[in-house]
Amino acid sequence: MSSPDTLRIPTELLPRDGRFGSGPSKIRDAQIAALVADAPTYLGTSHRQATVRNKVGEVRDGLRALFGLPDGYEVLLGNGGATCFWDAATFHLIERKSQHLTFGEFSAKFASAAKDAPHLEDPEVISADAGSHPYALAHEDIDLYALTHNETSTGVMMPIERPAGASGLVAVDATSAAGGLMVDPTQFDVYYFAPQKSFASDGGLWLAVCSPAAVERIESLAASSRWTPAFFDLKVALDNSRLNQTYNTPGLATIHLLASQIAWMNDNGGLAFSAGRSTRSAEILYAWAEASEFATPFVTNPAHRSHVVGTIDFAEGVDASVIAKVLRANGVVDTDPYRKLGRNQLRIAMFPSVDSEDVAALCASINWIVGNL
Ligand SMILES: *Cc1c(COP(=O)(O)O)cnc(C)c1O
C-alpha cells in the first residue's frame, strides 16, 4: 500500500494537459499566444475605441456563424456572468410567470431568482432527481420556459426543443453546453452562457443569443413601468451590444481569448467540429467506465449522459476523493465532483479544447492509481 501523497503516475500514462475542470476550464496555448502577440496594441486600451470594439464584433459575428443564426437573431453581451443574467432575466425576459426545469444546482438557482422577484408570480418548477432531467409542459399562463442544455453539477444534458404548443419564450442556460453540444436556433429564443467553459476564456461575462421575439420582449418590458437597475437592464445591454460595447468596462483579455476560441471552432468546421470533439471524448470516458470493475457512469440513461461534463461514480472501497488528490499531486486538476452532490464521484470536463487522447490518458491514469493504492 502506498500513501496517496507519494504516488507518482508514470509520465507516459499522464495526459499531456492536466486541466479537466468544469469552469474555468482548459485554455489552449494558441489562444494565449495570440493574446500575447496582440497585447502591445490591445491590452490596456480603451474599450470604447475601434480595436476592442472590433474584437467584440468578431465575437458577435463569430457566434452568428457558429450557431447558424436565422435573420433577426442578435448577440447581446454584458458583465457579470451567467448568474447575473438570471437576475437580468427576472427583470426583462419574464413578463409574469416562468416555468423552470430543475435537475441540479444551476437550474435550481434561476428558479429561486424568479421565485424571489417580488414583481413576478411564483414560477412553476418541474424537478427531476439528480442524474436525470424533467420535461417541459406547455401552459397558457407561462410566458418563459427556463431550460438548461447541460446541468454542469450532475453531468446531464437534454435536447433543446420548444415544448409542444407553447407560446412563451424558450430561454436556455447553455453556460457549459454552448460550443460543445449541437443546437438548433429555431428551438430557442434565448441561448445564454458565460465564456469560461466550452469557450475557453475567463469568467465574468455573459453572452445571450436572442431571437426577434426575445428582443421584442426586452423592448416591451424596458418600456413598461417595471423598475430595473441599469446593470440588469437588458435594453441597455441590447443598445450597447449593437455598438459592439458593454455597459461598463469588460475584461479585455476575456474577450480576446473568447474571440480566438470562436475563430478556432469556425475555421475547423463550426459547431459540428467542436461538438464532435466533445462527443469523441465522451465516448472514450463512458466506454471506459462501463467496462470498468470499479467505475460506472452516474447518469443511467445513456441519452442523458453529457458530452461536455462526465460524472463517474466509484465503487465502495475506492475513494474518489483520494483519486482526485493523487491526480492533483500529479498535475491533473479539478476532477472533484460538484461539492453539493455529495457522491463518491469524479467529474470530468470534456469541453472542445480538451484533447480526446488526454481523456483516454486520464482513464489510464485512474486505472493505474486504483491498481497502486
Ligand atoms: C457555470 C454555470 C453557471 C454559472 O456561471 P457564472 O458565469 O459563474 O455565473 C450557470 N449555469 C450553468 C449551467 C453553468 O455551468
318-362: pLDDT as tens digits: 999 999 999 999 999 999 999 888 999 999 999 999 999 999 999
> Which pLDDT score is estimated for 271?
98
Average pLDDT, the chain: 97
Residue nearest to atom 7 of ligand 1 (CA): 81
Rounded to an integer, the average pLDDT of 180-201 is 98
Do 234 and 80 touch, CB atoms closer than 8 A? Answer: no
Rounded to an integer, the average pLDDT of 265-272 is 98
> Which pLDDT score is estimated for 339?
86
Residue 275 has pLDDT above 60, yes or no: yes
Write the secondary structure of the chain as one string of H (helix), E (strand) and C (coil): CCCCCCCCCCCCCCCCCCECCCCCCCCCHHHHHHHHHHHHHHCCCCCCCHHHHHHHHHHHHHHHHHHCCCCCCEEEEEECHHHHHHHHHHHHCCCCCEEEEECCHHHHHHHHHHHHCCCCCCCEEEECCCCCCCCCCCCCCCCEEEEECEECCCCEECCCCCCCCCCCEEEEECCCCECCECCCHHHCCEEEECCCCCCCCCCCEEEEEECHHHHHHHHHHHCCCCCCCHHHCHHHHHHHHHCCCCCCCCCHHHHHHHHHHHHHHHHCCCHHHHHHHHHHHHHHHHHHHHHCCCEEECCCCHHHECCCEEEEEECCCCCHHHHHHHHHHCCCECCCCCHHHCCCEEEEECCCCCCHHHHHHHHHHHHHHHHHC
Ligand 1 contact, 365 CB (< 6 A): no
Residue 302 has pLDDT above 80, yes or no: yes
Ligand 1 contact, 86 CB (< 6 A): no
> Which pLDDT score is estimated for 1?
55
319 vs 273: CA distance, rounded Å: 36
Ligand 1 contact, 148 CB (< 6 A): yes
Q: Residue 253: pLDDT band by 50, 70, 90 thresholds?
A: very high
Look up the pTM and report it: 0.98
Ligand 1 centroid – CA 106 distance (Å): 7
Q: Considering only CA atoms, which of 186, 114, 113, 203 is closest in space to residue 152?
A: 203
Pocket residue to mutate for ligand 1, from 106, 154, 198, 254, most atoms within 8 A of Cβ? 106
Give the pLDDT confidence of 6-42 residue by residue, as tens digits: 899 999 999 999 999 999 999 999 999 999 999 999 9
Ligand 1 contact, 175 CB (< 6 A): yes
Cβ neighbors of 7 (< 8 A, separation 6 or more) are 326, 329, 330, 369, 372, 373
Rounded to an integer, the average pLDDT of 227-232 is 97
202 vs 336: CA distance, rounded Å: 20
Ligand 1 contact, 203 CB (< 6 A): yes
> Which pLDDT score is estimated for 327?
98
- CB environment 266-287: b (16+ within 10 A), e (fewer): beeeebeebbbbbbbbbebbbe
Do 288 and 295 touch, CB atoms closer than 8 A? Answer: yes
Q: Residue 3: pLDDT band by 50, 70, 90 thresholds?
A: confident
Ligand 1 centroid – CA 368 distance (Å): 33
Give the pLDDT confidence of 45-81 residue by residue, as tens digits: 999 999 999 999 999 999 999 999 999 999 999 999 9
Which residue reads 432531467 in cell numbers? 133
Ligand 1 centroid – CA 23 distance (Å): 8
Q: Residue 206: pLDDT band by 50, 70, 90 thresholds?
A: very high
CB 196: neighbour CB atoms within 10 A?
26
Residue 160 has pLDDT above 60, yes or no: yes
116 vs 52: CA distance, rounded Å: 37
Q: Considering only CA atoms, which of 309, 366, 362 is closest in space to residue 16?
A: 362
Ligand 1 contact, 194 CB (< 6 A): yes
Amino acid 340 reads K
Percent of the chain, pLDDT > 70?
Answer: 99
Ligand 1 contact, 176 CB (< 6 A): yes
> Which pLDDT score is estimated for 6?
87
Residue 154 has pLDDT above 70, yes or no: yes
Domains defined for the chain, CATH in brackets:
15-27+270-372 (3.90.1150.10), 30-267 (3.40.640.10)
CB 122: neighbour CB atoms within 10 A?
12
Atom of ligand 1 nearest to the CA of 85: 9
184 vs 302: CA distance, rounded Å: 21
Angle made by CA atoms 127, 131, 133, in degrees to the nearest 5: 40
